[in-house]
């Protein structure tokens, strides 16, 4: 299996935290689906064994097994037998370009604006709290997540999700981290559509460096400001992309 970078322990702990008592198989499937779609669990990554997952999540092994059946049916994981076997995140589990275009084209401008507002406010708040609560070493570790400008777009999108999920983990709030995971799974890939542009990737590197500098310095106001400025610019680009998709799919008027 391909080598994959792992999230910090706090982000992963939030994913594998014990569940509530209702509908547990569905909850296990939903949480792991969100983790895969958002990039917490990367393509090719091996999941913990069924007994390990059951112990982490506070559920029975049969519950985990049922959830994994659902994940396999979605094409999100594959399972193999033998010494090197196990359950792995499937190749192509993240959304591709065609799926992204279809998804953004199906949204109204109002829906995109609403989802973008939620995304911006939550992540800007995470940046602020991360600056208040993270120690310098934790903040510095965020730099290891930054990709090179010439890395492939897929690497960039995964790394960007990884960075923001790690910032969320530095809030030291498992509930907040899980909410960011949910939002990333639902909306994060749309936010990263502009990363196909090399100029956007170059600007993103600079924005991420400023954000990490602010978190490392413990400057909560600057961290929030950096996050809001960068994310708003990104959302503006997404809105322009959506307008282009809508224009391409608009049916021509029939001749009268």
Q: Give the pair of three-digit tokens for residue 152.
A: 């492939």
Q: Residue 254: inside a domain, yes or no?
A: no
Percent of the chain with pLDDT over 90: 54
Of 73, 89, 105, at which residue does a domain stop? 89
User: 114 with 182, same domain?
Assistant: yes
Q: Residue 225: inside a domain, yes or no?
A: yes
User: 16 with 76, same domain?
Assistant: yes
pLDDT of residue 230: 98
Q: Residue 205: inside a domain, yes or no?
A: yes
pLDDT of residue 251: 52
Q: Residue 56: inside a domain, yes or no?
A: yes
pLDDT at 153 over 60: yes
pLDDT band at residue 11 using 50, 70 and 90 as cut-offs: low
Q: What is the DSSP string of the chain?
A: --------HHHHHHHTSPP-SSSHHHHHHHHHHHHHHHTSS-TTPBPPPHHHHHHHHTS-HHHHHHHHHHHHHHTSEEEE-STT-EEEEPTT-S--HHHHHHHHHHS-HHHHHHHHHHHHHHHHHHHHHHHHH--HHHHHHGGGGPPPTTS-HHHHHHHHHHHHHHHHHTTT-HHHHHHHHHHIIIIIHHHTGGGGSHHHHHHHHHHHHHHHHHHHHT-HHHHHHHHHHHHHHHHHHHHHHHHHHHHHHPPPPPP-
User: 233 with 117, same domain?
Assistant: yes
User: 107 with 164, same domain?
Assistant: yes
Q: b/e for 210-230, b at 16 or more Cβ within 10 A? A: bbbebbbebbbebbbbbbbeb
Q: Residue 1: inside a domain, yes or no?
A: no
pLDDT at 254 over 70: no
Q: Give the pair of three-digit tokens for residue 158.
A: 């995964």
User: 139 with 234, same domain?
Assistant: yes
- Please, which residues bridge with residue 87 across strands? 79
pLDDT at 23 over 80: no
CATH classification of the domain holding 177: 1.20.120.530
Of 46, 66, 89, at which residue does a domain stop? 89
User: 175 with 52, same domain?
Assistant: no
Of 89, 121, 144, at which residue does a domain stop? 89
User: 134 with 185, same domain?
Assistant: yes
pLDDT band at residue 157 using 50, 70 and 90 as cut-offs: confident
User: 82 with 105, same domain?
Assistant: no
pLDDT at 35 over 50: yes
Compare 93 and 79 and report the one with higher pLDDT.
Answer: 79
Q: Provide the domain count of the chain.
A: 2
Q: Residue 2: inside a domain, yes or no?
A: no
Compare 89 and 186 and report the one with higher pLDDT.
Answer: 89
Q: Residue 145: inside a domain, yes or no?
A: yes
Per-residue pLDDT of 47-86, as tens digits, reads 999 999 999 888 899 999 999 999 999 999 999 988 888 9
User: 113 with 225, same domain?
Assistant: yes
As a whole number, mean pLDDT of residues 37-47 equals 80
User: 231 with 148, same domain?
Assistant: yes
CATH classification of the domain holding 70: 1.10.10.10
Whether this prediction's pTM lies above 0.85 is answered by no
pLDDT at 3 over 50: no
Q: Which domain holds residue 23?
A: 9-89
As a whole number, mean pLDDT of residues 147-152 equals 89
């Amino acid at each position: 299996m391909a080598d994959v970078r792992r999230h910090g322990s706090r982000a992963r702990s939030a994913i594998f935290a014990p569940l509530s008592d209702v509908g547990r198989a569905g909850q296990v499937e939903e949480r792991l689906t969100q983790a895969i779609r958002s990039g917490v669990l990367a393509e090719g990554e091996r999941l913990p064994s069924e007994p390990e997952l059951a112990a982490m999540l506070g559920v029975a092994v049969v519950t985990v097994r049922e959830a994994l059946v659902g994940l396999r049916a979605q094409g999100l994981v594959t399972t193999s037998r033998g010494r090197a076997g196990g359950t792995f995140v499937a190749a192509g589990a993240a959304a591709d370009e065609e799926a992204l275009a279809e998804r953004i084209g199906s949204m109204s401008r109002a829906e995109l604006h609403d989802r973008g507002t939620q995304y911006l406010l939550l992540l800007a708040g995470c940046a602020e709290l991360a600056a208040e609560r993270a120690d310098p070493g934790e903040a510095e570790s965020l730099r290891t997540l930054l990709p090179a400008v010439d890395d492939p777009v897929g690497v960039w999108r995964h790394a960007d999700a990884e960075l923001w999920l790690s910032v969320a983990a530095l809030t030291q709030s498992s509930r907040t981290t899980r909410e960011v995971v949910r939002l990333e799974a639902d909306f994060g890939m749309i936010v990263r559509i502009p990363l196909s542009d090399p100029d956007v990737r170059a600007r993103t590197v600079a924005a991420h460096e400023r954000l990490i500098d602010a978190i490392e310095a413990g400057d909560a106001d600057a961290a929030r400001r950096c996050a809001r400025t960068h994310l708003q610019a990104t959302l503006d680009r997404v809105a322009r992309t959506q307008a282009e998709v809508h224009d391409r799919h608009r049916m021509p008027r029939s001749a009268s």
